Structure 1
Amino acid sequence: MPTTLSVNLNAVAMLRNRRDLPWPSVEALGRIALAAGAAGLTVHPRPDQRHIRFSDLPVIRALIDDEFPQAEFNIEGYPSEDFLALCERIEPEQVTLVPDDPSQATSDHGFDFRRDGEMLTPIVARLKKKGMRVSLFADGDGDLEAVALTKATGADRIELYTGPYGGCFDDPAKAAVILEELGRTADAAFSAGLGVNAGHDLTVANLPALVKRIPRLAEVSIGHGLTADALEYGMAETVRRFCRACGQSV
């Protein structure tokens, strides 16, 4: 199956929040993305609501339920009690847990599963009891022992943190090394019975190599690069370009 695309709407929301105005509309651009072929929408609500607001979540939930019932809603966040209660209220198809401090500008590392596994296990069980798929943010550094520990939490998938890969856009040799580390981490996850997602600083340029190295990659979640391209190409055409980069025929 081709890798699917989930469009992260945080950058759209951050642009909206620069003014006390309702545009650009998170709902409208989410609708355009889904109509153009995106398989889902992703948000990462933070306690300070500096981009996605809590009030956006029921709107996006309704958009998917009413107009695109085949699509998925993915909510990312640190597993605080407030975040878990939010997920239980909105009922996304997938929850991606990340180890972020609330003050971080963006996600920049995966969980330390040797340290955090015991904490994550009951949280994963709580979310899965409500019917949500659970993915855990993981460093793609080839630490095969850590992948095995991830499986023990009960999670369904890992999401490979691809920031270092995207960050060496001007160094092909380094990109190739990091890509192989990501690939070995994914191979270990598949061997352990886990699904694999990926996200952070992925672009039309670097996606094809990632998908080629990890052909069973289930989903990529992309926001910053996709939103930047949408300023040039428009949201619909940008989504189609990213879907093609994932190996889809659109």
Structure 2
Amino acid sequence: MPAKLSVNLNAIAMLRNRRDLPWPSLTRLGHIALEAGANGLTVHPRPDQRHIRFSDLPDIRALIDDVFPGREFNIEGYPSEDFLRLVEETQPEQVTLVPDDPAQQTSDHGWPFVEKGDFLKSAVARLKRQGFRVSLFCDPDADQVALRAAKETGADRVELYTGPYGACHDDSEKAAKELERLGKTADTAAGLGLAVNAGHDLTVANLPPLARRIPALAEVSIGHGLTADALEFGMAETVRRFLKACEG
């Protein structure tokens, strides 16, 4: 079964926030994406609200509940008390925990699972009590020790950070090496009973090789590349292109 596609709305929100105006509309473009076949929507609300605003979350939750029941809302973020309360108020289907500093422009590394194991256990347990699926952002070359520590937190999944793979868009030899790093990590994670998501700088060009190397890939979360393509092809056609790419 192909990986499910979750459309990350952050880049659209950043464009909206350039003006004190309500467009482009996150819910309208989210509606188009879900209508075209996306499985869900992803947001990463940061403390400074530089793209997704906290006030966006109820509207996206309502869009899924009222118009697309059965689709999923995935919220990413660092598990501060404020973030955890925000998640509990919004009730997403999935929470993806990332080790970001609030000042970071974007997620660029996975958790040090061994060092942060106790911290993550507490956050994961709190989220699981609410019934949320929990995924942990993971480096592309995490070893068995690290992944075992990830499993011991109680998380359901890891999300492979595919940024280094995406950065090789003009170097096929290097891309093949990065792809194999991701594949080996996914194999180890699956062997420990962790499902595998992936995200960061994925495109219609580099997604098929990833899907072939990791046939059990559960979900991809894509924002920047998908939004860039939507400017050229429109959101609906772009979602269909990425869904096709998920097939490998």
Aligned with 2:119: secondary structure? helix
1:180 aligned partner: 180
Task: Note the C-alpha offset of 1:144.
Answer: 2.2
Aligned with 2:7: secondary structure? strand
Do residues 54 (structure 1) and 50 (structure 2) align? no
CA distance in 2, matches of 1:244, 1:67: 24
Q: Deviations over 1:150-200 (max 9, x none)?
A: 100000000000000000111111110110010010001111001000000
Q: Deviations over 1:202-246 (max 9, x none)?
A: 000000000000000000000000000000000000000000000
The letter for the 1-side match of 2:7 is V
CA distance in 2, matches of 1:162, 1:124: 23
CA distance in 2, matches of 1:22, 1:142: 41
Aligned with 2:41: secondary structure? strand
The letter for the 2-side match of 1:11 is A
Which ranges of 4 or more aligned residues in structure 1 deviate by more than 2 Å?
A: none
Do residues 126 (structure 1) and 126 (structure 2) align? yes
Counterpart mapping for 1:1-250 below 5 A: 1-247=1-247
Question: Could you state the TM-score of these two structures normalised by the residue count of structure 1?
Answer: 0.98
Q: Deviations over 1:7-48 (max 9, x none)?
A: 000000000000000000001000000000000000000000
The letter for the 1-side match of 2:38 is A
What RMSD in Å do the two structures reach over aligned CA positions? 0.7
Structure 2 residue runs of 5 or longer lacking an equivalent are none
Question: Could you state the TM-score of these two structures normalised by the residue count of structure 2?
Answer: 0.99
The letter for the 2-side match of 1:148 is R
Task: Note the C-alpha offset of 1:142.
Answer: 4.4
Task: Note the C-alpha offset of 1:114.
Answer: 1.3
Structure 1 residue runs of 5 or longer lacking an equivalent are none
What is the aligned length? 248
CA distance in 1, matches of 2:175, 2:212: 14
CA distance in 2, matches of 1:149, 1:181: 19
